Amino acid sequence: MIGCGRFCIVIIPFILSLLSILLAILACVGSTSTTTFIEDTHFIRMNFSSVALSDLFGTSSQLPATATLSDVGIKEVYSLGMWGYCSGSISSTDASHVDYTFCSKPKAMYGVNITEIISNDLNSAYTALAASITLPTDITDAQNKFNTLSKAIFITCIIGIVSTFLLLLFTLFSFCSHIWSCIASIFGVIAFLGLIVSAAGSTALFMVIRAAFNNNFDTLGIKAYLDMPFYALIWSSAMGVLLTVLFVFIGICCGTTSKYGRVKEQKYAEDQQPMMAYHPH
């Protein structure tokens, strides 16, 4: 019975840590590809569909009065992630879905430059408009904050993923000894701190970016939205690691793994058996 209990105390955190690392990896690799699901995992989504070109580029003789976003090459949606950005258009059949057609080359600790993103997408006939791009001060300030916070989020997320892998490894070894459980708990705490800081930081980052764009919506026409898959993944991963650490602590306090401990338990059980008295004939 004790062996079965110990098995559960070890296998449950092993499964939790395995799920946590998978969720964290999925959150981390968002914005690296247009592959289904990965393409929807970003910090924030910026909707350009309501942008007036005259507000973005000012008055320019190179900008025809009837020009549209697609004419100059600007996409309807740009989404920012840990490794870069993706761009695409709003689905014609589902307004809540984006058909991404491009993702930038993955770059560790990616720093966004909205002016550069727009400039890179301009069609060859309108490349001269890049010099005319004007962004409100609130947005440029938010962009600088993004570039600072995104580096911290990236580092803490990687620390969380690596530590969760080590937690997974040492949790498996904890079948053998409490020493492995203690080591697992240390990496578990590090993993939780890394992932919770990454989750909280990305949430704060979204609030900053959203406020900057939405407060200037009337001026520029860009609206910012939360990309739920990323936040669901990163927060679920952090909570999964927290549960794993709790189970590891329970295993340390209540479980028995050493040979000496098992022998001691067996001897105790034998001592509790009733002794048969000897009656001489």
For 42-63, the pLDDT digits (tens) are: 888 889 888 888 888 877 657 7
Predicted local distance difference test score (pLDDT) of residue 264: 46
Q: What is the mean pLDDT of each run of 10 residues along the chain (281 residues)?
A: 62 90 90 71 86 78 76 89 88 80 88 88 84 84 88 93 93 76 90 95 88 84 85 94 90 60 48 52 52
Q: What is the predicted pLDDT for the residue at 142?
A: 87
Residue 58 per-residue DSSP state: -
Residue ranges of domains in the chain? 2-258
User: Using only C-alpha atoms, what is the Rg of the chain?
Assistant: 27
Sequence-distant contacts of 36-41: CB under 8 A, at least 24 apart = 37/229, 39/86, 39/88, 39/98, 39/100, 39/103, 40/98, 40/227, 40/229, 41/81, 41/227, 41/229, 41/230, 41/233
What are 258's two structure tokens? 């050493």
pLDDT, residue 100, reads 87
Cβ pair 48, 222 in contact under 8 A: yes
pLDDT attached to residue 260: 43
Please report the pLDDT score of residue 90 as a whole number.
87
Q: What is the pLDDT, as a whole number, of residue 157?
A: 94
Contacts of residue 156, Cβ cutoff 8 Å, sequence gap at least 6: 193, 194, 195, 197, 198, 201
Q: Is 87 helix (H, G, I), strand (E, B) or coil?
A: strand
pLDDT at residue 63, rounded to an integer: 75
Q: Which helix H or strand E contains 89, and what residues bound it? A: strand 85-90
Calculate ∠ Cα 31-36-42, nearest 5°: 30
End-to-end CA distance of the chain: 40
